[in-house]
Amino acid sequence: MQYRRSLAPGGCYFFTVVTNNRKKIFTNDRTVDVLREAFKQIKDKRPFEIDAMVVMPDHLHCIWSLPGNDADYSTRWRLIKTWFTKHCNEGLKNRSKQTVWQKRYWEHQIKDDKDYEQHVDYIHYNPVKHGYVTKPIDWPYSSLKGFVEKGVFPENWGAGYEVIVPDYIGNE
């Protein structure tokens, strides 16, 4: 069976990208800064918008919006992963394979506003779901602070209560 990806020029997509063998490499500002720079370098060459994002120790989730005439997120991911791998600390790489990332990633084309909102909620609540923090705002590698600054979410969003999203999100 051939794997088929959904491609829509100008589309909006949710992604899950996982490190090789779920190795926890995003545990400090230094490695997250290298990842940020990888995104910046590729966005400069192949523009896209990052609508929401969270970087967890062994994976990341994000929502991208692509330019109206472009559906090529696969090349962007290949370039981001390659740039990060070339610039990350050598100690992060698996000595036998020199692999930082799982080969594949998960993508889901966002269907409508409700689907978008549910995926944004999933992204921002992910650090609580995994037990790293009790309040989503406390996770340092998340776009939630930007949403709070814009007034989209209150600062205490997800604190002291569970944010419910459909079970299929994140397990798609």
Active site residues: 141
DSSP string, the chain: --------TT-EEEEEEEBGGG-----SHHHHHHHHHHHHHHHHHS--EEEEEEE-SSEEEEEEE--TT---HHHHHHHHHHHHHHHS-GGGS-TTT---B-S--EEEE--SHHHHHHHHHHHHHHHHHTTS-SSGGG-SSBTHHHHHHTTSS-TTTTSSSPPP--TTTT--
CB 26 within 8 A of CB 141: yes
